[in-house]
Homo-oligomer: A and B are copies of this chain.
């Protein structure tokens, strides 16, 4: 396994690629994926392989890998399963370092497929060739402009590593991270995991300097003990967020025909995961958002949360959700409440959540946040500003009326608010008190005013419940590291 792991980097950073099954102009993966490789801007050399063609997408095409007169780091396969197995001999002879097998028709089909998979593995193992897949959608490594996968989708580089036994779910988790403002270090659809397992990718990402957080979708493990052992080693260095498919009998049956994975029973496995420091996600969106939450944010030192909310009802929802995620709504001292109260009208009811009682002057938000963060009475601070849904709705000009356009007045405030959160970035690290902002105001800003994903520091949440779940998950992970 060590050789296979060592060569894994060639899957994400190959100097040259042989593409076995290359074609053009047809709705086939041999065209779509090759096109993604080219369109994505991959800067290494591509050698299309297809015995029926002399040229594909303007590149010289070879009948077989053996016919390529240059070194090949990575072979990508979209041809039928039996053809992959035959071509592996060429890979061995040629000293290819790694194989990315997109092709289906292996273990997920039953005994015959499993035999093919074993044969493929045997050949690769003898030569120390790394095998990713089979039956996957491929990988991406945006830093190297490598998108050797199915979706016509080129996410930007970032610090989140993705490992998924499903290609769809890989894309969707990446989509949610992107919506949060963060990109991808490495993404891999591990699928059948004939050779490298999820836990191997975790180990690899644990040592990857470009990866700060790992998120994984898992349908089953082949060796539970090994999985938990390697996961435990990984979580000592980096947070691992895990979404498990096959939590119910129906799910397990569906998983068996999907990746042929051996499922592990829900409750026991979940407990073991938690004991290994893994953060369990409940939905695809939750997996993407929770992983994003760990980026650019200190871990809360404890469970006490301070909530500042533009609306009372959202404060109630947040208090419920925090409690349900094992957090504590901090009891604030009289002195601190008085300090906060200076910024609020006489009819404010002192307490946590700090309800801004529907005021229209948003300049009070910043001093109140700062007072809470500096107080020493809370371990994390949550800001909720969801007063308006303007951006979703019909704007003034589309209605029949002829009132005033209040946007300028409003935008000034919302621009400020978005700025406040970014301005808190340094303070958050200085004090070690993370800030979680649920804001939908900024959608109304001009796009130019929005910091680009690369320059935005702090993730914002679109709903209160996700933010509370994130605080809970990060507190839990911090408690785990302390033990």
Which A residues form the contact surface with B (CB < 8 A)? 27-29, 32, 35-43, 57, 104-105, 108-109, 137, 145, 150-156, 164-169, 171-172, 174-175, 178-179, 217, 219, 245-251, 253-255, 257-259, 283-285, 310-320, 322-324, 328-329, 347, 349, 351, 353, 355, 357-358, 360-361, 386-390, 392-396, 398-404, 406-407, 409-410, 463-465
Contacts and interface: CB of A to CB of B under 8 A. Distances in A.
Contact of A463 (B284, B316, B361): B284
Contacts of A29: 358, 360
B388 A247 contact: no
B39 A250 contact: no
Contacts of A322: 250
B254 A316 contact: yes
Given A178-B393, A388-B151, A406-B152, A39 B401 contact: yes
Nearest to A150: B358
A150 B410 CA distance: 13
Pick the most buried of A152, A219, A254: most chain B CB atoms within 10 A of its CB: A254
A145 B410 CA distance: 22
A356 to B, nearest CB: 11
A254 B349 CA distance: 10
Given A317-B169, A465-B284, A35 B153 contact: no
Contacts of A165: 313
Contact of A248 (B27, B145, B151, B319): B319
A361 B152 contact: no
Copies in the complex: 2
| Residue from A258, A360, A399 with most neighbouring chain B CB atoms (10 Å) | A258
Contact of A174 (B251, B329, B389, B404): B389
A404 B169 contact: no
A465 to B, nearest CB: 5
Contacts of A312: 166, 168, 254, 257-259
A105 B41 contact: no
A230 B401 CA distance: 37
A313 B170 CA distance: 9
A429 to B, nearest CB: 28
Contacts of A179: 392
Q: Which of A145, A155, A392 has most chain B Cβ within 10 Å?
A: A392
Contacts of A257: 312, 349, 351, 355
A347 B105 contact: yes
B465 A323 contact: no
B39 A155 contact: no
B38 A401 contact: yes
A315 B258 contact: yes
A153 B388 contact: yes
B313 A245 contact: yes
Nearest to A36: B403
Contacts of A392: 153, 175, 178-179
A179 B257 CA distance: 34
Contact of A137 (B153, B164, B248, B358): B358
Contacts of A311: 166-169
